[in-house]
Amino acid sequence: MKNIYLVGFMGTGKTSVGKLLSKKLDKEFIEMDDFIEKREGKKIVEIFTEAGESCFRKIEKEVLNEFSTKIDSIVSCGGGLICNDDNAKVLLENGIVFCLTASAETIYTRTKKVTHRPLLNVADPLKKIKELLNQRASYYNKAHYIVDTDNIPKEEIADKIIRILKNR
């Protein structure tokens, strides 16, 4: 089976749902940001601070190209990964892409206590979330499937994805 790519904004449940899918489907789970941190020997926030977002996006693209040669894995992608046309093409051609969505308010609630989200280390994170969601909407809508995670337990989300996969 092709890789299953989970895309969407930070805080939509890509990692928690991905880990659950991994167990339920007995497939390898890869958290792309964790992989990048191990490979680079730095936290994502440090890469952003020291080298900038463009450097991080270049690394992210390289890692995606590595992952695209694997099969049968579940990959939790960074929130902005699909927002590059080349990356979107790789995702869509080499995997089954699920975009997990949630409202800006839900995302804010889920992310407000963490400091490792460099794009939200701003004076008004909720406003920034809304801006980024608006900017990224057309990219997120390219996914093969859109799955809402607002007020839905991760088990139900994982089961919904499994039903979709079985009915393909």
**Between residues 120 and 125, which one has the greater pLDDT?**
125
pLDDT for 120: 66
pLDDT band per the 50, 70, 90 thresholds, residue 113:
confident
Model confidence pLDDT, tens digit, residues 32-84: 999 999 999 999 888 988 998 899 999 999 999 998 888 899 999 999 999 99
pLDDT at 148 over 90: yes
For residue 50, the model assigns a pLDDT of 92
Sketch out the chain's domains with CATH numbers.
3-166 (3.40.50.300)
- Residue located via tokens 């926030």: 45
Q: pTM value? A: 0.93
d(CA 22, CA 38): 20
CB 94 within 8 A of CB 119: no
